[in-house]
Chain A
Amino acid sequence: MMTSLTIEVGKVLLVLIGVLNLAAVLTWMERKQSAVMQDRIGANRASILGFRAFGLFQVLADSIKMFAKEDFVPPMGNRFLHTLAPFVSAFFALIGFAAIPFGNVIHLFGKDISLQVIDLNVGILYVFATMSLGIYGVVLAGWSSNNNYAFLGGMRGSSQMFSYEITIGTTILGVLMIFESLSLQTIVQAQGELLWGFIPKWGVVVQPIGCLLFLVAGIAETKRVPFDLPEGESEIIGYFVEYSSMKFGLFMLTDFVETILIASLVTTLFFGGWQIPYLMRDGFHFPGGFTVSLSGTSVSLLQVLSYCVKVFFFCWFLLLVRWTLPRFRYDQLMRLGWKMVFPISILNLLATSLLVLLLR
């Protein structure tokens, strides 16, 4: 009893601390990566005792600054909801990670530990639901500030997130039909199979269009640059104009946590999660009969590593997209969402269901 409780709490802490730390590192990565892409150097002045560590202390300096700033609530705003909104945003972004598997079952201390906080049999619906509930943070922030610009920003945010969530839903359906499960762990395990004996049956191989659409809609969900109309910091200003100090920091953190969430979902649904091609329980089995045998624990650890590398790669990729593309105009955003991405996802769904039916 006690050991299983410890294991559960340990897994929760591992995921929570991992995600929050990665989010903190992403704030540094965003600065540095954008700088390198634009032939600049980027933040490198924050130092402890003259030791700069490539500007990594900037993260610490930022958080100290955030906590030390004045926490302002607009006089006519709703104090309770104004305080609640950032917590709602951050909370729903963070609990989504509970259902995402970061490794296969590992055998430790005489027990089989599933490397996932909870193996829900409706895992994907759960993640999807927490993503949708994140809208409440945006709407509440916009409304409770008693500022027309913030309110409009909140409305833009909610309509954008609604529009693109429909696309996410329809693209996910295609994946569900192929892997025949709602549990993310089962979906990842199914991606370990091989097509025609040599191509790993990853989501991106069987659902290439779905993968692309999911990425587009996912970036729209994170409310970052090509789709950053809810916040539009440079001119149209958005739902968190009236936020300062760590409440604003929480919104910023939420953006990065959502980036990680989208990266993890893309990894889990389309890029094999923790799977490494040709790596079975007892080692590598390459097509052509070549095998490398490995112990069970090292296989599990390799898989966790592969999951982390994939998530990190997609975080990098999402940042690359964020620093490459200019922002859409609002009508372009809606046209893209409803007239291009959504119909294509429906067609993709139809084609997938036909193929699944014919090939059965």
Chain B
Amino acid sequence: MGSRELSFTERLYIIEVFKGLWLTGHHFFGNMKRHLARQLGLNRLKKGAVTFQYPEERRPFSPRYRSRHRLTKRDNGSPRCVACMMCETVCPAHCIYIVAGEHPDPNIEKFPVRFDIDLGVCVFCGFCVEACPEDAIRMDTGIVEIAAYSRKEMIYHIEDLLQ
């Protein structure tokens, strides 16, 4: 985009200034009207602002939104994960650490003894979810407030992820 020569009326500023004032004034009075109507209880449907009052009011997430991970469970409550290491391999941030153990059921073979995700390193790409052959890991918890006072607390263990 190169700079465009201003036309004569634009170089006078004054007309453009009043156009701008008209636009912002239009927004001001329109929003004021809606705010007042809401305050007086006349029209509760139209909002005067697009703001979400965050901690009290939450923006609805899209169903595809990638939030904190969780490990899905079988009917008996044990993790579906078979410790195949697919997610650990595909993870571009190397934030998943799995230690496999022998499962008593011969049809399942393995289960994770440890399943740690370092959320301080995770890039929330969702590759682990796509790679999983057992639908054992999902990113649909809707939890986005992942914060801690130390890096160590950012590492989520299998107990946290199974919740």
Contact = CB atoms under 8 A, between A and B. Distances in A.
A40 B51 CA distance: 6
Contacts of B27: 36-39
A8 B25 CA distance: 40
Contact of B14 (A33, A212, A321): A212
Interface in B109-136: none
B28 A36 contact: yes
Nearest to B14: A212
Nearest to B19: A324
A325 interface: yes
Nearest to B27: A37
B108 interface: no
A26 B102 CA distance: 71
Contact of A39 (B17, B20, B21, B50): B50
Interface in A6-54: 33, 35-41
B28 A39 contact: no
Interface in A303-360: 320-321, 323-325, 336
Contacts of B14: 212
Contacts of B51: 39-41
Interface string B81-104: 000000000000000000000000
Contacts of A321: 17, 21
Q: Which of A35, A38, A40, A41 has the most CB of B within 10 A?
A: A41
Q: Which of B24, B31, B50, B51 has the most CB of A within 10 A?
A: B24
A320 B35 contact: no
- Chain B binding surface, main DSSP class: helix
Contact of B13 (A37, A38, A41, A336): A336
Contacts of B17: 321, 324-325
Interface residues of A, number: 15
Interface in A87-102: none
A321 B19 CA distance: 11
B35 A325 contact: no
Interface string B9-27: 0000110010011011101
B39 to A, nearest CB: 9
Contacts of B49: 35-36, 39-41
Contacts of A336: 13
A324 B22 CA distance: 9
Given A35-B49, A39-B50, A212-B14, A320 B31 contact: no
B53 interface: yes
A36 B51 CA distance: 11
B21 A36 contact: no
A216 to B, nearest CB: 9
B21 A324 contact: yes
A41 B35 CA distance: 10
Nearest to B13: A336
A102 to B, nearest CB: 27
Given A36-B32, A36-B35, A36-B48, A324 B24 contact: yes
A320 B50 contact: no
B24 A323 contact: yes
Contacts of B35: 36
Nearest to B31: A36
B118 to A, nearest CB: 34
Contacts of A320: 21, 24-25, 28
B50 A40 contact: yes
Contacts of B25: 37, 320
B105 to A, nearest CB: 55
A36 B33 CA distance: 10
Contacts of B28: 33, 36-37, 320
Nearest to B16: A325
B41 to A, nearest CB: 16
Nearest to A44: B53
A39 B53 CA distance: 13
Interface in B28-67: 28, 31-32, 35, 48-51, 53
B31 A324 contact: no
Contacts of B31: 36-37, 39
A40 B25 CA distance: 14
Contacts of A325: 17, 20
Contacts of B13: 336
A35 B23 CA distance: 14
A167 B27 CA distance: 32
Interface of A: 33, 35-41, 212, 320-321, 323-325, 336
13 contacts: A33-B28, A37-B27, A37-B28, A37-B31, A39-B31, A39-B48, A39-B49, A41-B53, A320-B21, A323-B24, A324-B24, A325-B17, A336-B13
Interface of B: 13-14, 17, 20-21, 23-25, 27-28, 31-32, 35, 48-51, 53
